[in-house]
Chains A and B, each alone.
Chain A
Amino acid sequence: MRSAWGQQTGPDRATDAQVGPDLGISDMTTLLEMRDITKEFPGVKALDRVTLSVEQGEIHAICGENGAGKSTLMKVLSGVYPAGSYDGEIHYEGALAEFKSLSDSEARGIVIIHQELALVPQLSIAENIFLGNERATGGVIQWQETFRRTEALLAKVGLRDAPGTMVDSIGVGKQQLVEIAKALSKDVKLLILDEPTAALQENDSRKLLDLMLELKAQGVTCIIISHKLGEVRYVADTVTVIRDGATVSRLPAKGLEEDHIVRDMVGRDMTHRFPDRPRRAGEVLMEIENWNVWHPEHAERQVIHDIGFNVRAGEVVGIAGLMGSGRTELAMSIFGQSWGRNISGVARLHGKPVDLSRVDRAIAAGLAYVTEDRKSLGLILDETIRFNTTLANLEAVSTRGVLSEGQETEVAERYRKALATRTPSVMQQVGNLSGGNQQKVVLAKWLFAGPEVLILDEPTRGIDVGAKYEIYSIINDLSAQGKGVVMISSEMPELLGMCDRIYVMNEGAFVGELAAQDASQERIMSLIVNE
């Protein structure tokens, strides 16, 4: 599998030869070289002789599908998997490095910022930045120095909040910047960002990427792990693609075709990002009218203003909008009033008003809601695929309240095959699956509940390109079966590629409705901005 691609680095070959001339930069020295890294878990080879070589002062992107081994590689690098638990060598700053722990690698200036941020929400920005590294004399914290240095660091990352601000009162985008400021406080030489923009919206992402370029100018070397190829092209100097635990290619980012990266990542051509679907909308399935919702904690704050929309049988309807525009709140308030209070409005299915006041009633009425946050709201991670698949419709696999394990297994197997979930068995713990496969389990759960209308909230977030395509195909199958699909997404190309109609949402209200053929990224943005 390693030989199919032209510009590639076999794990056993020296990597340096392919870098220099392409990048046109001559005074580069190699900061980090990981040679033939092999990491095995019981029964599984997670990394198979992976090589990675990062030049001093560059931004190096690592691309690969979920499950390719990127995170494992970074854990090897940072000492989470200590030296000796893997095969191969790490050379850092020209010498063999054997990190025994995270603090070992941090002492050498390697800092990882994980996807899930590691800040303590109840502490201030300053306290978080110097957490574990407190500015103190004799155990007594020097607040003045802490605050002064925090201010300097915040200025570096372009954050204007006061150092005493509580972390839980600032948004995810700013929290990301605080993490970076924290890294800078440790004299970072090699900064590793694991999908830093996954939870950010467009303008915050851009700010973060620009900050990376700025840090690069100051001499910090960066590794960025990302699914978003646009970003990779924007910031990266070099791209290493990893697939199935092995290095597939190492390419200069300049002038690189996205299709090329995608092809290397999935190991096949991706001519169509979105599968085709015959578009034929039937009768109106679900209608929502005059939907108003207030905030559950701040009773005076109205979050959803007078929203109305409908979904037809066989139709995929999109809801576009920025993060914080109220899309998830709208979906959850419809689905059994699981968010908000003082909810008013009319919901009709097949023209008849339905009671959606509780989740079980909403499910009984024919609704399903696939949450945006599958780990904390969608799945029970310690349980098996089988357990999760049948959870929303246990009545169907039981008689008089007694479960039939046989039926359950049958159901779980059926959906495993239908959705091509990659797992050795349906008795696998869901927490061990990759993001794409977890999402398939969530979908299986809701498909088995037999809904007529599915609300999918960011169904492809954090999922790699190949799995995205599969999720799209599943959505198309659903609409072909005459189900109505409401799709909430922050990725506009996805909405444009998948939907028949798109509602545009801003600040809790719908500000426009576009038919697929009239919609474009620019028109959606202008509707949001002009409001």
Chain B
Amino acid sequence: MQSSETNTAQSEPSRLKAYLKNHMREYGLLFALIAIMAFFQIVTAGTLMRPVNITNLFLQNSYIIIMALGMLIVIVSGNIDLSVGSVMGFVGAFAAVMVVHWGMPVWITFIAALVMGGLIGAAQGYWVAYWKIPSFIVTLAGMLVFRGASLWLLEGQSVGPFPKSFQIISTGFVPDILPRGVTTELAGLFGARNFNVLAMAVGLAAVLIVIWLGLRARARDKAFGIDGEPANFFWARNVIVLGALLFLTFKLATFRGLPNVLLTMGVLIVIYAFFTQNTVVGRRIYALGGNAKAAKLSGIKTERLTFLAFVNMGVLAALAGLIFAARLNTATPKAGFGLELDVIAAVFIGGASMSGGSGKIVGAVVGAFIMGVMNNGMSIMGIGIDYQQMIKGLVLLAAVVFDVYNKQKQG
């Protein structure tokens, strides 16, 4: 089609419409999340947004989100990793055995666990990258191997409990910057039992940084004459998103403050979003997934990139395994069972394409939250696990159908 060649002047409303149409996916995802949250807030009579539940929501989904970061990269590179649930469980078991049975210090255990994750990723990535064996098969094998390995390592038993310093990565909170006395007084102002200044400050800082980055990007686009997001869309989107962010941090602040996990997760999300969108290596991963042959002929070391994508996935699965084990305070042979599917679903709900080359970190995170809020909300409502599974399955299908339908309409 030659449609792109004619640069027709468009009227403002039609430009807005065209923009909305082209970015239906991003806006749709965001509003889906907001709508789902609003829905469950209403049907659970406000339980969803209670400070303690919001804190829980982050804790419950942290390991899914952390693995979704790695999975997004694997999927963008044109592959898939079915083994992450098993690897997560295995690394949790490995760490438990190290700490509980062998009495190793916690910090050494953490490092060893992350290295173990990297090695597992490397072992799988090697076959995918250098032997060109489809990742579906390699990681399906990995899934079976490490599921068995966890059972073997734990000898079919649960291993725990862990020392306090282990649990803290999952259940701890970042200490506040102001002394206790001051914060309780502040809390009185809001009618809450507690008020964590640090959490609120971090939330505010995040809001300001997001606005500043957004404005900077807009100014740059304008300087180069690139048609960016229309101004009213930009502000509407930011007011809604950042408003929600402030609201959430306020809720967190009135409970126990910033969970350690949330901090870890937040930092990782920022790092990975930056890595995928703004670095040379990140760019090359998109090129690799978009057209591996063309990428190779452009001097990109495609094998090495594929290999590294799996190593990275392994390390993140290991981190998720540590967090998961710390949260339960025990390693069980069943840990991580089937979690790979939640992680993959989050990435696809977030708009990544099965064929590689497209998808964004933010999308994957929002996708994971959509799943998480639904899990949490339906549990509060007392909906059985049977219905929960069915509903989640249909949501995944609906998200992808929505995607495909949009693409066809544009075509």
Chain A residues with a Cβ under 8 A of chain B: 41-46, 66-69, 71-72, 245, 335-336, 338, 358-360, 362-363, 369, 371, 376-383, 387, 391-392, 394-395, 398, 401-403, 405-406, 409-410, 413, 422-429, 432-434, 437, 445, 449
Which of B115-123, B283-291, B384-392 binds A?
A: B283-291
Residues of A within 8 A of B10 (CB): 43
Question: B185: shortest Cβ distance to chain A, in Å?
Answer: 44
With an 8 A cutoff between CB atoms, is B132 at the interface? no
A401 to B223, CA, bound (A): 24
A443 to chain B, nearest CB (A): 13
Q: Are A360 and B2 in contact (CB under 8 A)?
A: no
Task: Quote the shortest CB–CB distance from B26 to chain A (angstroms).
Answer: 15
Q: Which of B1-40 contact A (CB under 8 A)?
A: 1-8, 10, 14, 18, 21
How far does the alpha carbon of A44 sit from the alpha carbon of B8 in the complex, in Å? Answer: 7
Contact with A along B260-301 (1 / 0, CB 8 A): 000000000000000000111101101100110111111111
Seed contacts A363-B299, A380-B357, A402-B280; 5 additional CB < 8 Å A-B pairs? A42-B21, A43-B6, A379-B291, A382-B358, A423-B7
| Contacts A338-B297, A378-B294, A382-B358; A67 near B5 (Cβ below 8 A) | yes
B8 and chain A: residue at smallest CB distance: A43
A46–B5 alpha-carbon span in the complex (Å): 10
> In the complex, which of the residues B5, B223, B284, B291 contacts A423, with contact meaning CB atoms closer than 8 Å?
B5
Kindly state the separation between the CA atoms of A52 and B62 in the bound complex, as whole angstroms. Answer: 62
The answer to whether A376 touches B291, judged by C-beta atoms less than 8 angstroms apart, is yes
Q: A42-B18, A406-B220 are in contact. Are A398 and B280 (CB under 8 A)?
A: yes
Contact partner of A382 (CB less than 8 A), chosen from B3, B7, B290, is B290
| B225 adjacent to chain A (CB < 8 Å) | yes
Please classify the interface of chain B as helix (H, G, I), strand (E, B), loop, or mixed, using the class held by over half of its residues: helix
Smallest distance from the beta carbon of A276 to chain B beta carbons, Å? 28
Tell me if B155 counts as interface (CB < 8 A to partner A).
no
Given contacts A359-B298, A359-B299, A382-B358, contact A67 B283 (CB under 8 A): no
Query: Contact: B357 with A405, CB < 8 Å?
Result: no
A248 to chain B, nearest CB (A): 16
| A-B CB contact pairs (8 Å), 13 listed | A42-B21, A67-B2, A358-B301, A376-B293, A383-B357, A387-B286, A391-B295, A394-B280, A401-B280, A413-B224, A427-B227, A432-B3, A449-B299
Contact among B3, B6, B21, B280 for A395, CB-based, below 8 A: B280
In the complex, whether B226 has a CB less than 8 A from a CB of chain A is: yes
**Bound CA span A359–B292, Å:** 13
Contact A434 B6 (CB under 8 A): no
Residues of B within 8 Å of A369, CB to CB, are: 297
Residues of B within 8 A of A429 (CB): 4
3 nearest A-B pairs in the assembled complex, by CB-CB distance: A380-B290, A67-B2, A360-B299
Q: How far is the CA of A222 from the CA of B284 in the complex (A)?
A: 46
When distances are taken between beta carbons in the complex, the residues of chain A under 8 Å from B225 are 425
- With A359-B298, A359-B299 already in contact, the answer to whether A409 and B226 are too (CB < 8 A) is yes
Docked CA distance A42–B10 (Å)? 10
CA A405 to CA B278, docked complex, whole Å:
8
What bracket does the count of chain B residues touching chain A fall in?
Answer: 35 or more
Q: How distant is A454 from chain B, measured CB to nearest CB, in Å?
A: 14
Q: Tell me whether A376 and B294 are in contact in the complex, defined as CB-CB below 8 angstroms, given that A398-B279, A403-B283, A424-B7 are known contacts.
A: yes
- Chain A residue numbers with a CB within 8 Å of B14 are 43
Check B281–A44 contact: CB distance below 8 A. Answer: no
A377 to B220, CA, bound (A): 32
Q: What is the bound-complex CA distance between A339 and B2, given in angstroms?
A: 34
Q: Which residues of B contact A335 (CB under 8 A)?
A: 297
Chain B residues with Cβ below 8 Å from A362 are: 299
Q: In the assembly, what is the distance between CA of A363 and CA of B6, in Å?
A: 35
Q: Which residues of B contact A434 (CB under 8 A)?
A: 2, 5
* Docked-complex contact A338 and B296, CB < 8 angstroms: yes
Q: Name the one of A68, A360, A379, A425 contacting B294, with C-beta atoms under 8 angstroms.
A: A379
CA distance A72 to B5 in the complex (A): 14
Whole-angstrom distance between the Cβ of A223 and the nearest chain B Cβ: 19
Min distance, Cβ B258 to any Cβ of chain A, angstroms: 28
Q: For residue B286, which residue of chain A has the nearest CB?
A: A383
- Closest chain B CB from A398 CB (angstroms): 5
Most chain-A CB neighbours within 10 Å: which of B291, B296, B298?
B298
The reply to whether B279 and A44 form a contact with Cβ atoms under 8 Å apart is no
- From B4, B18, B279, A403 is in contact (CB under 8 Å) with B279
List B contacts of A406 (CB < 8 A).
Answer: 220, 223-224
Q: Which residue of A lies closest to B14 (CB)?
A: A43
Nearest chain B residue, comparing its CB with the CB of A404: B278
Q: Nearest Cβ in chain A — how far from B237, in angstroms?
A: 19
User: Would A46 and B2 count as touching, CB distance under 8 A?
Assistant: yes
CB distance from B353 to the nearest CB of A (A): 8
Q: B278 touching A403 by the CB < 8 A rule?
A: yes
CB within 8 A of A69: which of B2, B297, B301? B2
Given A72-B1, A425-B226, do A377 and B299 touch, yes or no (CB 8 Å)?
no
Nearest-Cβ distance from residue A330 to partner chain B, whole angstroms: 15
In the complex, per-residue mask of B183-199: 1 if CB is within 8 Å of any chain A CB, else 0? 00000000000000000
- Which residues of chain B have C-beta atoms less than 8 A from A413's C-beta? 224
What distance in Å separates the Cβ of A62 from its nearest Cβ neighbour in chain B? 15
Identity of the chain B residue whose Cβ is nearest the Cβ of A338 in the assembled complex: B297
Interface pair B281/A401, CB less than 8 Å apart: yes
A43, A45, A383, A433: the one within 8 Å of B290 (CB)? A383
Q: Please determine whether A43 and B224 come into contact, CB atoms closer than 8 angstroms.
A: no
**In the complex with contacts A424-B7, A425-B225, A371-B297 CB distance below 8 A:** yes
**Contact: B286 with A433, CB < 8 Å?**
no
Task: Report if A44-B290 is in contact (Cβ < 8 Å); known contacts: A359-B299, A395-B280.
Answer: no
A466 → chain B, closest Cβ, in Å?
13
Q: Smallest Cβ distance from B358 to chain A, in angstroms?
A: 6
Q: Which residue of B lies closest to A390 (CB)?
A: B283
What residues on B are CB-neighbors of A445 within 8 Å? Answer: 298
Please state if A427 and B280 are interface contacts (CB–CB under 8 Å).
no
Nearest to B17 among chain A residues (CB) is A42
Among A45, A338, A379, A394, the one with the most B-chain Cβ atoms within 10 Å of its Cβ is A394
Chain B contacts for A358, CB-based, 8 A = 301
The docked-state distance in angstroms from the alpha carbon of A392 to that of B299 is 6
Contacts of B295 in A (CB 8 A): 380, 391
Nearest CB of A to B194, in Å: 40
- Bound CA span A394–B6, Å: 30
Q: Are A403 and B280 in contact (CB under 8 A)?
A: yes
In whole angstroms, how far apart are the Cα atoms of A69 and B5 in the complex? 11
Instruction: Report chain B residues within 8 Å CB of A371.
Output: 297
Out of A379, A409, A422, A449, name the residue touching B5 (CB < 8 Å).
Answer: A422
Q: Contacts of A68 on B, CB cut-off 8 Å?
A: 2
Chain B 203-227 near chain A by CB (<8 Å), digits 1 or 0: 0000000000000010010011111
Question: B303 → chain A, closest Cβ, in Å?
Answer: 11
CB contact under 8 A between A359 and B281, given known A72-B1, A376-B291? no
Q: Are B291 and A381 in contact (CB under 8 A)?
A: yes
Most chain A CB atoms below 10 A, which of B2, B21, B357: B2
| Contact yes or no, A433 B278, CB < 8 A | no
Least Cβ–Cβ distance between B390 and chain A, in angstroms = 33
In the bound assembly, the distance between CA atoms of A125 and B293 in angstroms comes to 29
* A377 & B284 in contact (Cβ 8 Å cutoff): no
Q: What's the minimum C-beta distance from B406 to chain A, rounded to whole angstroms? A: 13
- Given known pairs A43-B18, A425-B226, the reply for A437 and B5 (CB within 8 Å) is yes
Q: How far is the CA of A348 from the CA of B284 in the complex (A)?
A: 29
Residues of A with C-beta under 8 A to B358: 382
> With A44-B6, A379-B291, A432-B3 in contact, do A392 and B298 touch (Cβ < 8 Å)?
yes
CA distance A317 to B300 in the complex (A): 28
A382 to B355, CA, bound (A): 11
Cβ of B292 to closest chain A Cβ, rounded Å: 10
B10, B281, B297: residue with the most chain A Cβ atoms closer than 10 Å:
B297
Give Cα A395 to B299, complex, Å.
Answer: 12
Check if A46 sits within 8 Å of B226, measured CB to CB: no
A360 to B72, CA, bound (A): 26
Interface set, chain B 342-387, CB cutoff 8 A to A: 357-358
Which residues of B have CB within 8 Å of A427?
226-227
